Amino acid sequence: MARFSLGALLTLTLLLVGCGYKPTSYYAKEALGNKIYAEVTISRQDPQNSVLIKDAVNEAVVSRFGSKLTTKELADTILHVSIGSISLSPTVYDKYGYVTAYKTTVVLAIKYEGVDKKVQHISTSGEYDFSIQFNSVISDTSRFEAIRYASIDAIDEFVSKIAIKGLRNGNNNQ
């Protein structure tokens, strides 16, 4: 593993700051504002996964956007998230034909009303690969964890798309 000296780290930091680098969370926050209300539609067919996705959305609002969760009345942005689909697909088989790894894919439909009060729709997807032990049976714990991580990946895609919109809007205003 490469080790960086303090001088190299300082040079890299100055280079990034000097060239106007801003992280994607900066542009996402510009587009969404400081206070966000997040609402996840609970699926009657799959309420447990809806709760996992709600937790992932709330976590992303705080950690990825750097924003605060608030009430609908005080929000700069209102997010409405619903599950488009959740799928588990086998990806790896052992020499006896048993499944040893799966890919979880979560598709989220996100409707949001941003700071500019325009309602927009974005569909995002996230994936998570995981392996299983023994007789190719997926435990509930493994399935929930995979759905949670795939949801976080889908939300990261949303952050990227919002950041791109924020960057475009920022460049148009200059």
Higher pLDDT, 64 or 143: 143
Lowest mean pLDDT across 93-97, 132-136, 143-147, 151-155: 132-136
pLDDT of 136: 63
User: Who wins on pLDDT, 110 or 52?
Assistant: 110
Q: What is the pTM of this model?
A: 0.75
Q: What is the pLDDT of residues 37-85, one digit of tens each?
A: 888 887 777 777 788 888 888 887 777 777 788 888 888 889 899 989 9
**DSSP state string for the chain:** -----HHHHHHHHHHHHHTT---HHHHHHHHH-SEEEEEEPPPSS-HHHHHHHHHHHHHHHHHTS--EE--TTT-SEEEEEEEEEEEEEEEEE-TTS-EEEEEEEEEEEEEEE-TT--EEEEEEEEEEEEE--TTTPPPHHHHHHHHHHHHHHHHHHHHHHHHHHHHHHHHH--
Mean pLDDT of 155-162: 87
Asked if the model's pLDDT at residue 17 lies above 70, the reply is no
Q: For residue 165, what pLDDT is reported?
A: 72
Taken in order of first residue, the domains within the chain and their CATH numbers are 34-172 (3.30.160.150)
